[in-house]
Amino acid sequence: MHNTAAIVFRDGITRFVKVDNDELLMDAARRHGVNLPVDCREGVCATCRCLRESGEVEVEYIDEEALTEEEIAKGHVLACQTRLRSTHASFYFDVDSSICSVATELHDGIVSAVEPVSDGAAILEITLDDPARALPYLPGQYARIEVPGTNEWRAYSFATAAVREGKLRFLIRLLPSGVMSDYLRDRARVGDAISLEGPLGAFYLREVQRPLLMVAGGTGLSAFLGMLEELVEKGECTQPIRLCYGVTQEQDLSELDRLAAFAEALPDFVFEPIVMNASAAWQGKRGVVCDLFDRDFLSQPFDAYLCGPPPMIEASRQWLEEREVGEHRLFFEKFVSS
Ligand code: FES
């Protein structure tokens, strides 16, 4: 019997390791070729400290010199003293993966579908060549994909909670001109060989213990599609979730049916789109994502997840900083479409 631990490094590189029931996290990682920083191995020096971000654990010993009460209350643990007590758990190590001898993983596959989902975006579906070689990831993370026929790589968030039957999906913005956009619009054929590297990124869904604010700009929605799918599949989330979804023109709105299905399936999930440069025919809200922020909702403690272009992230952070909102954690992923 074993459980699975996601080990996330400061540079966003993530490894998944199987941990036997009585095995220490540190030993399981080493068995998988991940050499976590360790020194005393006795719970004293705190060299192996990390933050438990989800899952249940049993911690054998923590010396009072190693972690403060406050740090323990926030979820800090010591990898040399920690055993898993749930099927899945994730841990954040505030060190770069390179010091733990972790290499990035390459996967090969084929293009199995390209589906336009709006005027300005498409879903790219990739089927991995070797379904037995799993590509586990945390919803919200991304992969780098090599544009077929080029040596160019581009980064995209996973749009599903996990690999299903060897398939992965990504929501990708179609620019008037761009190396991936040109490929998807003009040359992509089912069966094209395609490579990807991942998972990457420290933007992923932590254990949901309080209300969530999700803020998506354009195809930043992709990360939230994966997160919401996971919450539906787990069926445990009772916290309220508000998704503010901003686009430039209404033709850019994507996957609204899927969002509506999430709203049906989750106990308290509300999403609202807003369009910056809407046509006269647009019946919904006009403006930027911050115009959707609900002060009543944000007066309670919450976690905020932001994914989209840098100006949107900065405007949202500034809005939250300048208002009297509840205590919150902020996670964000900035991306520039290219
Ligand atoms: Fe010293 Fe874990 S290695 S506390």
In the chain, where the domains are located: 2-100, 106-200, 212-334
Closest C-alpha residue for ligand 1 atom 4 = 43
Residues 118-135 have a mean pLDDT of 89
Confidence of residue 104 (pLDDT cuts 50, 70, 90): low
* Among 27, 47, 59, residue to substitute to test ligand 1 (most atoms within 8 Å of Cβ): 47
* 51-55, 99-103, 192-196, 305-309: range with lowest mean pLDDT: 99-103
Please provide the CATH number assigned to the domain covering 2-100. 3.10.20.30
Ligand 1 closest atom vs CA 37: 3
Q: What is the predicted pLDDT for the residue at 280?
A: 94
Which of 28, 20, 23, 22 has its CA nearest to residue 7? 28
pLDDT in tens, 45-94: 888 999 999 999 999 999 988 999 999 999 999 999 999 999 999 999 99
Distance 105 CA to ligand 1 centre (A): 28
Residue 202 CA, distance from chain mean position: 7
| CATH 3.90.79.10 at 106-200, yes or no | no
- Which residues are CB-contacts of 13 (< 8 A; sequence separation ≥ 6)? 96, 97, 102, 104, 200
Q: What is the CATH code for 212-334?
A: 3.40.50.80
Q: Provide the pairing of β-strand 241-247 with 269-275.
A: parallel
Whether 136 has a pLDDT exceeding 90, the answer reads no
The pTM score is: 0.82
Closest C-alpha to 101, from 33, 32, 11, 200:
33
Atom in ligand 1 nearest the alpha carbon of residue 46: 4
Mean pLDDT (the chain, rounded): 93
